[in-house]
Amino acid sequence: MSTALQFDTHEIFNQSPPYEDIDLFSTDGPLVEAVKANGAEAEIAALSAFGRQWGAAEMFGLGRRANENPPKLYTFNPKGFRRDVVEFHPAYHELMRASIAAGLHASTFTPTGKRAAPPAEVARAARYYMAAQVESGHLCPITMTRAALAALAAEPTLLATVAPKVVTTTYDPAFRPWTEKPGMTLGMGMTEKQGGTDVRANTTTATPSGDFYVVTGHKWFLSAPMCDAFLVLAQAPGGLTCLFVPRFRPDGSVNALRLQRLKDKLGNRSNASSEVEFAGAFALRVGPEGAGVRTIIQMVQLTRLDCALASSGFMRMALAQAVHHSRYRTVFQKHLYDQPMMRTVLADLALEVEGAVALVMRLARAFDYAGEDAREAAYARLVTPAAKYWICKTAPGFIYEAMECLGGNGYVEESILPRLYREAPVNAIWEGSGNVMCLDVLRALRRDEEAAELFGSLARQASRLAGAVEAPFDRDKAIASEAHARDMVGRLARIAAAAALNDSAPAAVTEAFVHTRLGRPGGALYGADGLEATEAELLLERALPER
């Protein structure tokens, strides 16, 4: 691109070209290595095709338009009849179509609802990570749809009819019964006004009526309300129970879901999040009465993985934008990229993403093998909440720092940075907020022997990697103090990231991560970690090849 374009009053120069029409996969060295290290090498060509598709200027345009034109709720039709439908901008539908065509909503399951063979999780994780870099709001129904299949496993007959409708590559946004559609999406309703974390405080009821249930009550958050059905928690006679609540009754009439209003959110604007009342809605039970939490936690475990994947993707996009811009922008006759302090900041950001992507891809591998290998199941159980905690809480501050690398251009809406910045906190809040993730790690350590053993072995591995850094914890000390669980869980995540890097990245990267992330007290700002110039050189070359 020309850097000296004529304008009426001045020439334009010293601005970076748009960061688009790139291959989001092949230009991301750490991602390529992590995919290979976790068993998905055979997917490289397909992932590169996906990376080119999603890195196209057109896809970035769809992402922008879907967020500039948020969804609208139409509660009634012009004659006063209830409609309870949400209309989305065509750009949102295009994004949904592309994600579903690529199987982001279901590729880890077979049409019979069984888990697909490895490396289905790692291959999907890489795609999800790339899609999140471009637009994340539409990924809400995408993550819920695939995760719901895990909970539906508790009700094999229902799963057998739902799974073939989910495991297609057809997106059908029409408002009609799921049984008549070639493809369907699924949402989730747990949170009520009086409690989200504490779902046992749910007051919504599920009353048995023959072979179905009647659900009465509300949900304070019900995202993607145009999904074809929802997994909802409600109090049945036997206790808190998971229910399948479709938008239409079996007789074809609209089910009694009354969308009250849409939330006015900080970010996540392309996605609709509704408040809903169930006015005697038709529902089918999923799993035994009283087993609601146990049933739906299968779903939540998968959405938590996706939160960590998406936030890693946000950080990757923010980093790529910062590195790209700095290579073009000159300040004091020198590219920002060559200014010593900027290089340290950029390299430190790159190192954070190295750790995050290595960790989430390793975690995806654990999901690939959890069904057959107890150790991998323990890894998924222990590391999912830890990774969600560390990565999702890191992302907002990280994106802010990357934004600053672009100066004023980064703060302006036309760059993608403000959208990423607004989007990031929600991944830390939903699907279990930060403290709740830490409590979940404590629970795993207390109850799951395999998880506790894994914890010990990660700690020993960290000591070996870190050399002089002392073993950071032992299990008894770790579970003793709820008050200090954040410190322990943050360290656990960074240790697991170091171990994952050890499997996928060059030794120098792992060493840099260990000496800056395991040896230091938390809280240092990016670029204040004492990275050496040679380390910066390596990290920046890996982060983004020069064009």
Write out the residues near ligand FAD by the rule CB under 6 A: 187-191, 195-198, 221-223, 265, 268, 273, 426, 429-430, 432-436, 439
Closest CB 439 distance from ligand FAD, rounded Å: 6
Cβ at position 330, least distance to ligand FAD in Å: 40
Least distance in Å: CB of 182 to ligand FAD? 24
Comparing CA positions, the residue from 378, 357, 354 lying closest to residue 366 is: 378
What would the two tokens of residue 98 be? 């592309």
DSSP per-residue string spanning 42-67: GGHHHHHHHHHHHTSHHHHHHHHHHH
How many angstroms separate the CA atoms of 242 and 234, rounded? 7
Nearest residue (CB) to ligand FAD, 183 versus 196: 196
Q: How far apart are the first and last CA of the chain?
A: 12
By the 10 Å C-beta count (0-12 exposed, 13-18 middle, 19+ buried), 138 is classed as buried
Instruction: State the minimum distance, in angstroms, from the CB of residue 239 to ligand FAD.
Output: 18
**DSSP assigned state of 115:** B
Nearest-approach distance from CB 41 to ligand FAD, in angstroms: 36
Q: Pairing state of beta strands 186-189 and 229-236?
A: parallel
| Residue 157 phi, psi dihedral angles, 5° rounding | -65, -45
- Residue closer to ligand FAD by CB (options 191, 502) is 191
Which CB sits closer to ligand FAD, 39 or 287?
287
Minimum Å gap between C-beta 438 and ligand FAD is: 8
**Residues 342, 535: contact at Cβ < 8 Å?**
no
Tell me how far apart the alpha carbons of residues 133 and 313 are, in angstroms, rounded to a whole number. 5
**124 sits in which H/E element:** helix 120-134
- Give the nearest distance from C-beta 29 to ligand FAD in angstroms: 33
Tell me whether residue 193 or residue 477 sits nearer to ligand FAD (CB atom).
193
Cα–Cα distance measured from residue 451 to residue 374, given in angstroms and rounded to the nearest whole number: 9
For ligand FAD, give the closer residue by CB, 44 or 429.
429
Other CB atoms closer than 10 Å to residue 334's CB: what's the count? Answer: 11
Which is nearer to ligand FAD, 351 or 392 (by Cβ)? 392
Query: Which residue of this chain has its Cβ atom nearest to ligand FAD in the complex?
Result: 196
C-beta closer to ligand FAD: residue 223 or 344: 223
Closer to ligand FAD by Cβ: residue 120 or 296: 296
CA separation for the pair 135, 137 (Å, rounded): 6
Nearer to ligand FAD, 217 or 527 (CB): 217
Beta strands per DSSP E along 251-399: 257-262, 273-286, 330-331, 334-335
Q: How far is the CB of 340 from ligand FAD (least distance, A)?
A: 39
* Residue 292 β-bridge partners: none
Give the three-class secondary structure for 537.
helix
Least CB distance to ligand FAD at residue 364 (A): 22
Taking the CA atoms of residue 195, residue 211, residue 159 and residue 385 in that order, the dihedral angle to the nearest 10 degrees is: 20
CB 215 within 8 A of CB 232: yes
